[in-house]
Amino acid sequence: MNGLQGLKRQLLPLIKGLPIIIGCTILALVIAKKIIRYTPNSYQTVARIKLDDQKYGFSNTQLYKDLDLFSTTNKIQSEAEILQSPLLIGQGLARLDFDISIYRVGNVKNSLLYKNSPIIVKHQLTEIKNLDRTYWINIIDSSHYQLGKLDKKIDTTNSEIIPLGKPTLIDGEPITVSKNDSLLDEKDLHLIGFYECIIFSKDGLIADVTEKLNVTAVDKEIAVLRVVYKDQNAEKVADLANALCHAYIEDYVATKTGAASQTVKFLELKIAEVSKELERAEVKLEQYKSVNGIVNTRQETETGLRKQSSLEMQLISLEMNEQTILELEQYMTGGDYFSETAINFGFGDLLMTELVKTLKYHQDERQDMIFKYTSESNQVRALDNKIIELKNYIREAIKRNKKEIITKRKSIEKTVEINSKQFDGLSTREKEMRVLERDFTMKEQVYMFLAQKKIEASIAASALLSFHRIIQPATTPKKPVSPNKTLIIFVSGLLGLIIGTTYVYLRKATLSKVVSREDLEKHSDLPILGVVRKKNSGKDFSTLAKALKFKDELENNPLLTVSSAINGEGRSYVSTHLAQSIAELGYSVCSIAIKEELNNSGETITDFLATSCEIQAGGVYDLISTPSETLNAPQLMTDLKSQFNVIVVDTPAAALSIEGVEFMKLADLNVFLFRANYTSTDFLEYPELLAEEYQIKNMYLLLNSAHMASSFNGRFVGTRYNTELKQERFISKVWNYITAYIRS
């Protein structure tokens, strides 16, 4: 029961504050409606691209394996960065007419007109100061308009009126506004009105699109890219996402075929050189055989010659690698080596190739970051340091590879020289023939290898195939993604409830007012006589009078004082009604009300009081005092006790006047009054301090104006303790609960 009563007391301020909470909630919902109304709609579309997986994808089949011969294993995150790079975005925007955005200015918000603009804006702006800025357009009628920069104050009165279709100059550069006749004939659009127009530069448009574009991988293990674009027009977001996806596919095909074409050219040059050498070797071999009449070589020389041939093949391979590493060194020191779409050298070191590609990726990343940061920013400078370190590492690796190649070549040349001596003892004719055959065979193998690679590269260059594919094209969204009406309304309503509830409890905590009997028990050890509830005071005063009688406090002609710490706590109300309730029990009662402060100078009470005596209902005699120069309270009380059974004195506020303390010291019973939701908790310890300081005995505490939904002694809370609230009809019960908990 104690836990339930404590919960009820904690919930009581919440129930009483329901009007405030409901008001805060309604206000929050109204604000939410305004936010939704004034916030422009934003639409979002999603497209998905499936990237080719060379290990498990379609290009892994034997038929198409060589078509992507010169591409590397796909890196999903790298492809995502490429897709949202300025280069790809620029290629996608080249398909669209996004460089001018026209908005219709409304009373509440501006609406983006994409393909539904009744006006057409054309310009020949080249100055940076005139681009990436907003202009206002005022269509006066069907034939005239006004135009100006939005950064200045809009002055339609002094602005020039220009015929539609005729250009006007902005800082010496022309802008033309004309009617969109084809659209106006097709649709019933309102032409006259106020418009805003943003004219973008190429870089400004790319930056604007980049802010609204998000390309992410669906999962790091799944080769699918998710392209998300958000803007104020539904058709615009779908067109941009689709254009970007198609630009990515086409760029992939162009890059692949371009790299293959460059490889074909390189192989053609090498094949031509090897072909001439092969022809010369063949002629020499035939001439030698013809002159010397040689058909077969000796079996004993085959093994040695095969080994010698292998060594010389290695030597040629080292020479080719040396030539390639020199080309790589020239490639690294040649200046602008990032303009190429692929590395057109055949160096077979995969680590070196990956390092160069990483260097190119960092350089592309730096170009992207320049759109967001300056060249002196920490992010760009950190990336520059990475590029410098990578360049130095590549250059150092080139030096090491050159040194290693030279060392290996010397070693092989020495080995070839040693192996050549094994033929010194053989016939010079056979030896020379074997050398010619070896030279011919080697050049023939090189020629066949290059020819095979040329065929493969030619197929890759001719096959305009993309193994990346769009698996979900962007569609025109039907509903805006923001503002999220449901979320805004829900959050606003929740905030309204939280703010209202917080205000109610903070107000209760900061005001620190006496509310219930529990507050009296918590701060004072004095006994509590009871409570006087709102709208139930008649029964409560009768209960208090009976309680005093049961305690034998009304015997022997007692003097009873009603005191309080401050004014306004209902002393007169309580003393009057308590006197009447005591009189109803059959006692003769005298009620004294001290209306003003008294000055104690020691003379008789007769000289002090100008007394008027009236008999009220219940047999109560009221003596209303007026101020005088002297007071002899003991004599007065002795005289009155001889005539009445009970004397009730309404004393002045004890915290404001010392005169009431004398009556409290003379009294047989002191009732110290607190008023619920009025008296500060700072005064709760005051009666106990008075009793200790002035030796006042027999003091009771009384709570006035207690909540009506509590019991007669204030120990319990609940409407069932008030019999007047019992109604049979549900609506009556609800209304009475509201009356009991909120209005009281």
Per-residue pLDDT band for 200 (boundaries 50, 70, 90) equals: very high
Q: Are 191 and 118 in contact (CB under 8 A)?
A: yes
Lowest mean pLDDT among 65-69, 210-214, 368-372: 65-69
Lookup result for tokens 């020199």: 326
Per-residue pLDDT at 461: 67
Percentages helix, strand, coil for the chain (3-state, rounded to 5) are: 50, 15, 30
45 against 677, higher pLDDT: 45
Per-residue pLDDT at 349: 60
Lowest mean pLDDT among 388-392, 455-459, 493-497, 729-733: 729-733
> H helices of 126-233, where?
181-186, 202-212
Asked if the model's pLDDT at residue 388 lies above 70, the reply is: yes
State mean pLDDT over 447-475: 78
Q: Name, of 180-189, 288-297, 426-435, the range with top average pLDDT.
A: 180-189
Q: What sign does the CA torsion over 606, 609, 615, 618 have?
A: negative
Per-residue pLDDT band for 339 (boundaries 50, 70, 90) equals: very low
Q: Where are the domains of the chain?
A: 2-39+483-510, 302-425, 513-706
pLDDT digits (tens, 9 = 90+) for 110-136: 888 888 899 999 998 888 888 998 999
CA angle 478, 483, 487 (to 5 degrees): 110
Q: What's the mean per-residue pLDDT of the chain?
A: 78
Q: Are 619 and 648 in contact (CB under 8 A)?
A: no
d(CA 315, CA 415): 10
pLDDT digits (tens, 9 = 90+) for 134-182: 999 999 998 999 998 887 677 777 888 999 999 998 888 899 999 998 8
Per-residue pLDDT band for 380 (boundaries 50, 70, 90) equals: confident
Per-residue pLDDT band for 62 (boundaries 50, 70, 90) equals: very low
pLDDT digits (tens, 9 = 90+) for 629-640: 334 567 777 777
CA angle 473, 476, 477 (to 5 degrees): 115
Strand order in the sheet with 167-170: 119-123, 173-179, 167-170
Q: Are 706 and 735 in contact (CB under 8 A)?
A: no
Q: Which of 150, 177, 185 is nearest to 161 (CA)?
A: 177
**CA torsion, points 10, 16, 18, 23, in degrees to nearest 10?**
-130
Q: Specify the CATH class of 513-706 in words.
A: alpha beta
283 against 302, higher pLDDT: 283
SS3 at position 655: coil
Per-residue pLDDT at 348: 52
pLDDT digits (tens, 9 = 90+) for 242-270: 999 999 888 888 887 777 788 888 888 88
Asked if the model's pLDDT at residue 67 lies above 60, the reply is: no
Express as a percent the part of the chain with pLDDT over 90: 13
State mean pLDDT over 308-331: 73
The three state secondary structure string of 485-551 is HHHHHHHHHHHHHHHHHHHHHHHHHHHCECCCHHHHHHHCCCCEEEEEECCCHHHHHHHHHHHHHHC
Q: Which of 193, 201, 203 is nearest to 133 (CA)?
A: 201
Per-residue pLDDT at 238: 92
CA angle 285, 280, 264 (to 5 degrees): 130
pLDDT digits (tens, 9 = 90+) for 661-699: 878 888 889 999 999 888 888 888 888 888 888 888 888
d(CA 144, CA 425): 106
Asked if the model's pLDDT at residue 720 lies above 50, the reply is: no
State mean pLDDT over 340-356: 57
Kindly state the helix (H) or strand (E) to which residue 170 belongs, with its residue range: strand 167-170
Q: Name, of 219-233, 326-340, 341-355, the range with top average pLDDT.
A: 219-233
Q: Say whether the peptide bond before residue 483 is cis (omega within 30 degrees of 0).
A: yes
State mean pLDDT over 616-627: 52
Q: Are 520 and 703 in contact (CB under 8 A)?
A: yes
Per-residue pLDDT at 642: 78
Express as a percent the part of the chain with pLDDT over 70: 77
Q: Are 124 and 174 in contact (CB under 8 A)?
A: yes
612 against 91, higher pLDDT: 91
* Nearby residues of 126 by Cβ (< 8 Å), 6 or more positions away: 173
d(CA 119, CA 117): 5
Per-residue pLDDT band for 522 (boundaries 50, 70, 90) equals: confident
Tell me how far apart the terminal alpha carbons of the chain are, to the nearest angstrom: 24
State mean pLDDT over 363-390: 80
d(CA 458, CA 263): 9
Q: Which of 520, 312, 292, 318 is nearest to 435 (CA)?
A: 312
d(CA 410, CA 413): 5
455 against 669, higher pLDDT: 669
Lowest mean pLDDT among 221-235, 350-364, 489-503: 350-364
